[in-house]
């Protein structure tokens, strides 16, 4: 009888610097799988406009968007497309993967304020949020066909005195938007209503998994709050309080990752949130955006994000090793 070959040992999960010293800071990461990852960021100041990187499972490619200037702050899309990217000047780009890697449409939008977040329950139900500054111009636009329309139920005090940084939801009738000055708005499918997270400072990002929400924010002192369906609870670690946090993602089986200033990384398990040990992949660069892929791998994007021009992009990954060539 022939010998049955041994099963290969599974590849160990490791923290890895996938890219660093990228000319433009990397601000957001999202994908459909571990082999289809999009990273967007700041203007690289090389005449090619905002930084957009794509990973196909084998290597990385910088993708031209047709824009020659400006920063892109967020990327979000759907498995079969489209993919949306939003940023400075009210810019929203739409990309349909089947149209080729460089095919982007600049969409008409109802304002010139910065688009800081994009989320959709489905390709037919997509939102963009943002503001002119942390103290003015907060907006939520909803996509109707090919037309972005302002949502009239955004409270007047938010539109005049705050920004909406991000929005994410469980469905088209259950989503949260968070912003400056402690803004938290719940969308029930017909209108926004104000909520209270118990945190009176900026919440920069909100994410949802299996009906459970987490949001992060803060400046000198970071905060993590979670919503279990009945209300928001402050779950900030007390043993090692975080610096300001700007990105959070929830994954399967109660996992999660939150990131922030000076390389802060916190991971979540059944015991709650704990400071992560990145070993040799540790960095002092600010980390801004996160995403958890279909294999449970963590992706963290950042760079010099405190003042423009945003530069020195960095991309970290936790999981099986990722190729680094082409960035």
Residue with tokens 């939102």: 127
- What pLDDT is stored for residue 7 in this prediction? 60
Residue 13 has pLDDT above 80, yes or no: yes
**What confidence category does residue 33 fall into, taking pLDDT thresholds of 50, 70 and 90?**
very high
- What pLDDT is stored for residue 285 in this prediction? 96
- What pLDDT is stored for residue 82 in this prediction? 96
Residues 100-111 have a mean pLDDT of 88
- What pLDDT is stored for residue 140 in this prediction? 98
- What pLDDT is stored for residue 220 in this prediction? 81
**What confidence category does residue 153 fall into, taking pLDDT thresholds of 50, 70 and 90?**
very high
- What pLDDT is stored for residue 201 in this prediction? 85
Residues 209-215 have a mean pLDDT of 97
**What confidence category does residue 9 fall into, taking pLDDT thresholds of 50, 70 and 90?**
low
Which segment, 9-13, 185-189, 237-241, is predicted with the most confidence on average?
185-189
Residues 255-271 have a mean pLDDT of 96
Q: What is the pTM of this model?
A: 0.95
* Domains by residue range for the chain, with CATH: 17-319 (2.130.10.10)
- What pLDDT is stored for residue 3 in this prediction? 58
- What pLDDT is stored for residue 8 in this prediction? 61
**What confidence category does residue 239 fall into, taking pLDDT thresholds of 50, 70 and 90?**
confident
Q: Across the chain, what does the average pLDDT equal?
A: 94
Residues 267-295 have a mean pLDDT of 95
- What pLDDT is stored for residue 6 in this prediction? 61
Q: Which residues contact 316 (CB under 8 A, 6 or more apart)?
A: 15, 16, 17, 18, 265, 278, 281, 283, 287, 298, 299, 300, 301, 302
Residues 236-265 have a mean pLDDT of 93
**What confidence category does residue 209 fall into, taking pLDDT thresholds of 50, 70 and 90?**
very high
* Percent share of the chain, pLDDT over 70: 96
Residues 140-163 have a mean pLDDT of 96
Chain segment 158-179, per-residue pLDDT in tens: 999 999 999 999 999 999 999 9
Chain segment 57-82, per-residue pLDDT in tens: 999 999 999 999 999 999 999 999 99
């Amino acid at each position: 009888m022939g010998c049955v070959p041994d099963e290969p040992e599974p590849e160990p999960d490791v923290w890895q610097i996938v890219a660093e010293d990228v000319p433009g800071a990397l601000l957001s990461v999202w994908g459909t799988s571990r082999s289809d990852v999009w990273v967007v960021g700041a203007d690289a100041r090389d005449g090619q406009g905002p930084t957009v990187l794509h990973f196909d499972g084998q290597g990385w490619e910088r993708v031209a968007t047709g824009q020659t200037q400006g920063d892109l702050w967020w990327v979000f899309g759907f498995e079969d497309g489209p993919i949306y990217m939003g940023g400075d000047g009210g810019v929203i780009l739409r990309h349909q993967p089947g149209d080729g890697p460089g095919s982007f449409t600049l969409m008409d939008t109802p304002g010139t304020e910065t688009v800081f977040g994009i989320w959709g329950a489905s390709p037919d139900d997509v939102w963009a949020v943002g503001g002119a500054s942390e103290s003015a111009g907060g907006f939520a636009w909803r996509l109707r066909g090919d037309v972005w329309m302002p949502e009239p139920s955004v409270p007047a005090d938010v539109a005049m005195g705050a920004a909406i940084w991000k929005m994410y939801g469980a469905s088209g009738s259950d989503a949260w938007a968070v912003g400056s000055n402690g803004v938290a708005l719940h969308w029930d499918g017909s209108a926004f209503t104000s909520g209270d997270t118990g945190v009176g400072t900026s919440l920069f990002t909100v994410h949802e998994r299996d009906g459970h929400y987490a949001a992060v924010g803060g400046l000198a002192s970071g905060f993590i709050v979670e919503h279990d369906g009945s209300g928001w609870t402050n779950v900030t670690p007390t043993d090692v309080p975080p610096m300001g946090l700007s990105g959070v993602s929830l994954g399967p089986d109660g996992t999660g990752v939150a990131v922030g200033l000076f390389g802060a990384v916190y991971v979540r398990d059944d015991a709650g949130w704990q400071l992560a040990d990145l070993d040799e992949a540790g960095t002092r660069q600010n980390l801004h955006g996160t995403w958890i892929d279909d294999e449970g791998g963590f992706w963290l994007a950042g760079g010099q994000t405190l003042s423009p021009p945003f530069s020195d992009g960095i991309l970290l990954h936790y999981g099986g090793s990722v190729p680094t060539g082409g960035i």
